[in-house]
Amino acid sequence: MDFIIGSIENTFSTGELINLPWQLNRQDKTLSTKDNYCTCRKPIKECHVWSQVIAQQEKWLYNKNKSKFRTSLSWSVLAPSQPFYEAIYRKFVIWLLKQNSLISISDILFRLHRRKGQLNWRLIDTIAEVSGNIFIVDSSKDILRFLLLQYTRPEDIYLIMMIRNPMGVCNSHLKHGRNIKCTASKWVKKYNTFAKLISKINLDNYLVIDYDELTENVNYVRNRIAHYLNISDLKDIQEINTGSYHIIAGNHKTRFAGNITIVKDEEWKSKLSPEQQSIISRRVRKLNPLFKKSLSGFYFNF
């Protein structure tokens, strides 16, 4: 998705922007050195886009307190910067936001985090200025961060959500030895939480992309996205050269793959038994209509 959206005129894909402070300060040896590189194959600090962005944001991006620094873009200012407390805090905030009667409390929460929202926007504005683009595509998978950005500058935000093929997702989790029922339920819960939170902010201008549709007809979906962003760029793309992007986080294999074409992953058809497919299908039926209507009916009938 990063590569496809980023191929549209006036857009710039960053990858998971939330990881930027971490990418810059990752001296710990446990991580792959590939993480120090931008997709253009230069170290992030030497890439002509990111070096300028960093120079303009230096003071903030090089915060001396490493643990604080890591979370300086994310929603955790009230929680101690330790993954355990962060996770509890996030769960609590999501629970609060999901309650119908607590709208005023959620407003207070957003106000508390407003400064963080402004810091994020300052970074986004700098990237737009340095790269000379209008739309900055951030694929951080963080619903709270999205809500905060939306709260801080609602007029400047667009939301594109991709619904992945549940069979493919469960199949890849199964490879890591996870339980199929649990994985399928988690998959549904994640989308349903998202749908519920989106419904709270009365955001009606969003786009849902179906993964299968994307892989079957890349240019049709690309045009839909351009149309949503009000950009008239209808040229077709055949091949993607990952080296022409400046994406700073994400899967190494894809980021440094060179020339790639989009192919549909249908491995699940041969790997999942009919019983397993039926287990997944039964859970997928509980999907919120916001996503259900975009996902092929095919997955509900096993």
Query: Residue 15: which of 245, 225, 230, 190 has the closest Cα?
Result: 245
Of 36-44, 77-85, 143-151, 155-163, the window that binds Zn ion (rule: CB under 5 A) is 36-44
Of the candidates 4, 24, 38, 225, which one interacts with Zn ion according to CB under 5 A? 38
Instruction: State the helix-helix crossing angle for 180-200 and 166-175, rounded to 10 degrees.
Output: 130
R_g of the chain computed on alpha carbons:
20
Residue 25 or residue 185: which is nearer to Zn ion going by CB?
25
CB of 71 to Zn ion, least distance (A): 24
Residue 156 one-letter amino acid: D
Helix, coil or strand: residue 173:
helix
Q: Cα(first)–Cα(last) distance of the chain, in Å?
A: 28
Residue 194 or residue 245: which is nearer to Zn ion going by CB?
245
Residues 241-260 that bind Zn ion (CB under 5 A): 246
Inter-residue contact 93 to 193 (CB < 8 Å): no
Residue 58 or residue 236: which is nearer to Zn ion going by CB?
58
- Size of site (CB under 5 A) for Zn ion: 4
CB of 68 to Zn ion, least distance (A): 26
Quote the CA–CA distance of 110 and 147 in Å, as a whole number: 8
Quote the CA–CA distance of 162 and 141 in Å, as a whole number: 11
Residue 45 or residue 111: which is nearer to Zn ion going by CB?
45
Of 37-45, 90-98, 102-110, 290-298, the window that binds Zn ion (rule: CB under 5 A) is 37-45
Write the binding mask 71 to 100 for Zn ion: x where contact by CB under 5 A, - elsewhere: ------------------------------
Residue 47 or residue 290: which is nearer to Zn ion going by CB?
47
Q: Is 40 in the site for Zn ion (CB under 5 A)?
A: yes
Residue 32 or residue 270: which is nearer to Zn ion going by CB?
32
Q: Is 47 in the site for Zn ion (CB under 5 A)?
A: yes
Of 122-130, 224-232, 239-247, 257-265, the window that binds Zn ion (rule: CB under 5 A) is 239-247
**Block residue for tokens 């120090």:** 36
The CA–CA distances, whole Å, from 196 to 147, 201, 300 equal 12, 9, 21
CB of 44 to Zn ion, least distance (A): 7
The CA–CA distances, whole Å, from 142 to 6, 63, 95 equal 20, 22, 15
Q: Is 209 in the site for Zn ion (CB under 5 A)?
A: no
Residue 40 or residue 290: which is nearer to Zn ion going by CB?
40
Q: Any bridge partners for residue 137, and if so which?
A: 13
Our CA dihedral for 65, 67, 68, 69, rounded to 10 degrees, sits at 80
CB of 50 to Zn ion, least distance (A): 6
Interacting residues with Zn ion (CB under 5 A): 38, 40, 47, 246
